[in-house]
Structure 1
Amino acid sequence: MTTLLVRGLENEGPGDIVGAFVAEADVDPDAIGDIDIDGTEAIVEVTDPIVETMDDGRIGGSEVDVIRLDDDTKVVREYVEEYSRLVELEREAEMDRHDREIRECSGREREAKGRAILDLEGRDEGEGLGGYHVKFVRQRSDEELPETEIGVGDLVMLSKRDPLREDNPTGTVTAVTNLGGSTSRSRGRGERP
């Protein structure tokens, strides 16, 4: 048996995978073994290696990547999974630290530490690559931003006076200058900035 990794699934199930392998790669249904789906990926056992036929193909409504899962790709996959787990742990710890700090310090104290920027006005920059763009500048145009730890790629929370509200939007910093910065974020259906 050959083990394949199918990536890019959305809501497809085992029947969709079998159907695509049979229809697109002319595989006998009996040549398909176990199918283990985990989110957007599936591990599929087959007796007929069909990577070339199915890679960049379609399963259900999804365009998928199909790779042979050999010892080398398993090692890389395990490394990526472990690294992703550690990054997620670090992100959660950082979020907890910021949540505690928001509860214990004023906005001015956090700004002095470089972990908040206050008194900004947002300007709608429209939608583009990466989501919905908003440019932020100081309310007084002659005032520069304070020194800050916040940089490009950082996830930031946008709030008006109440940073602990559950419905505050978040965004990713896409640009920083001495006068302002820009964020990009996904927007919910019908949501306005």
Structure 2
Amino acid sequence: MLEAKGLSPKETILHSAQIGWTSSCDSETAKKYINDYFEPIYRNNEVWRMNIYDEQEEMGMITTVLNVITIAISIIAAISLIVGGVGVMNIMLVSILERTREIGVRKALGALNGDIRSQFVVEAVIICLTGGTIGVLIGVLNGVLLSKVAALLLNNMAAEYAEYITLSVQPSIPAIIISLAFSMLTGLIFGYYPAKRAGNMNPIDALRYE
């Protein structure tokens, strides 16, 4: 193409060229052919240098980085769930200690161990579900605020590209459901021990508790 226009490599105003090939073509072979074609032209050129960028490789690097970030966030979320679960367990243990006489009265009136256990497990699940709901609402709000800030920065710092880029926040319903499910599961797991302890209380000792 350069020879047809009578331009030397130093005179051309070509900054980049986008070359595509069919999916059946091997990318490494295609890059070799491209390099073999252009390398002699730019070999001794002091002004221009030729570099081949494969978008698939760049997307692979981006995907790898996103996967690492996802794993890191997942680990942080798991630690947060454990810490939160331990906090809920401590709260339930304190609550059971303060309501010892109430447990004794209920058992004296005929409540079974399973009834007491179910009561405190449900309370722990509700506490965690409430916390999970608040967390989801805060997350959605933060996403909206970040998108507004990003759009503002884009309009101020790269106004020429603003009309081509659209920023929007679309909360993932499955992610929200999974988050709430994990919150309930945390309450179920960490609330079971205090609930079991409450259910196994001796009603006479519970009624005598001051």
Q: Sort the TM-score into its range (normalised by shorter chain).
A: under 0.3
Kindly indicate which of the two structures has a greater share of residues assigned to strand.
1
TM superposition score normalised by structure 1: 0.27
- Bigger radius of gyration: 2
Higher relative contact order (CA 8 A, sep 6+): 2
